Amino acid sequence: MKVIENYKNFIDTKKSIVTIGTFDGVHIGHQEIIAQLVATAKKNNANSVLLTFFPHPRMVLQKDNSIKLINTIDERIEILEKTGLDFLIIHPFDKEFSRLTAFDFVRDILVNHLNTAQLVIGYDHRFGRNREGDFEQLEEYGDMYDFVVQEIPAQDVNAISVSSTKIRKALAEGDIHKVSKYLGHAFTLSGKVVSGERLGNTIGYPTANLEIKESYKLIPKKGAYLVKSIVNNKAVYGMMNIGVRPTVKGGHQTIETHFFDFEGDLYGQNLQIELLEFLREEQKFQSVDALKEQLALDKKKSLALLEN
């Protein structure tokens, strides 16, 4: 898959089968759409193209900093690379771009730049300035510019019974099994290991303190999780705590992971950590010794889950 920033940088003479959207999470519903897109493109000797926008339009138009996404843009690229797509076009979304009319969007982007032969969209897709464009308009433009519009009907989407909204709700509830089922892969947190207060070292549970620079990344429910990561090309398991560490009056939220059977310095490394299981809610303990006892129980539970 070739990643292109800005649709104007896409140059290819072959016809394209195109889909448009945020595709946050790249969940099993998204994967079904992309699989159909890729198959259609191969059958017609065309390019399979996914056009997405970043930042999220709501962040730009409504200055909505509260919006949280399942994936960072880098995580989304990594997942999409496994789908068989030929091209992923990430176009910068700004106020000037938002003023493009539906007609200009079709003519300038779909026709003149992407050489679209077929457009695959969801049943409720809207586009163009003030979301003025709809399926009927797309069909009119398709007749005008000789491309086919394929609408994925509501019943097909509902049959999969999954949406990014449902996944966000499950993450807020700590329902990791449901999240993994809907995504078709594990939910991940990605960031750099930074220096913390080293409390874990003093109580026998050294941790990697993960810093996530993308403020829009959705962080799951506070609590303890069984996790997996790849460190130095080797799979390692551990337990992660997301929370404010009330026992030691931490105050601000941290994401700390204690890896089992691992020795080494991870500071400065970029890690991607998969969440496998929710272990328990965040708790305030009466003492550091009580915290240590709970961590021993968490580790015992984690190892038992891994054995099973």
How much is the pLDDT for 124?
Answer: 65
pLDDT band at 168 (very low <50, low <70, confident <90, very high): very high
How much is the pLDDT for 18?
Answer: 96
Look at 58-72, 86-100, 283-297 and tell me which has the smallest mean pLDDT: 58-72
Q: Would you say residue 251 has pLDDT above 70?
A: no
Look at 123-137, 238-252, 259-273 and tell me which has the smallest mean pLDDT: 123-137
Cis peptide, bond prior to residue 206, ω within 30 of zero: no
Is 193 or 159 the better-scoring residue by pLDDT?
A: 193
pLDDT tens digit sequence for 37-49: 999 999 999 999 9
How much is the pLDDT for 263?
Answer: 84
Report residue 55 CA to chain centroid gap: 13
How many CB atoms lie under 10 A from the CB of residue 190?
A: 19
How much is the pLDDT for 250?
Answer: 62
DSSP conformational letter for 84:
T
How much is the pLDDT for 201?
Answer: 66
Largest distance between two CA atoms of the chain = 73
Q: d(Cα 113, Cα 38) in Å, to the nearest integer?
A: 19
Comparing C-alpha atoms, which of 129, 109, 141 is closest to residue 16?
Answer: 109
Boundaries of every domain in the chain: 2-164, 186-307
At 155, list the tokens: 């019943």
Report residue 167 CA to chain centroid gap: 10
Q: Would you say residue 199 has pLDDT above 90?
A: no
Comparing C-alpha atoms, which of 24, 23, 1 is closest to residue 85?
Answer: 1
Please compute the mean of the pLDDT values over residues 148-159 and round it to a whole number. 71
- In the block, tokens 């990430």 appear at 90
Q: Are 230 and 208 in contact (CB under 8 A)?
A: no
Comparing C-alpha atoms, which of 106, 117, 93 is closest to residue 15?
Answer: 117
How many CB atoms lie under 10 A from the CB of residue 253?
A: 11
Q: Are 36 and 5 in contact (CB under 8 A)?
A: no
Q: Would you say residue 247 has pLDDT above 70?
A: no
pLDDT cut 90: percent of the chain above it: 64
What is the average pLDDT value for the chain, to the nearest integer? 89
Alpha helices in 11-72 (DSSP H): 28-43, 57-61
The pTM is what? 0.88
Q: Would you say residue 228 has pLDDT above 70?
A: yes
- Is 2-164 a domain of CATH 3.50.30.30? no
pLDDT band at 288 (very low <50, low <70, confident <90, very high): confident
- In the block, tokens 């930074």 appear at 194
At 181, list the tokens: 């089922």
pLDDT tens digit sequence for 86-128: 999 999 999 898 888 989 999 999 999 999 999 988 766 667 7
Helix axes 164-173, 176-183, angle to 10 degrees: 160
Q: d(Cα 263, Cα 203) in Å, to the nearest integer?
A: 16
Pairing of strands 254-259, 270-281: unpaired
The amino acid sitting at 247 is T
Architecture per CATH, domain 186-307, reads as: Beta Barrel (2.40)
Q: Would you say residue 73 has pLDDT above 90?
A: yes
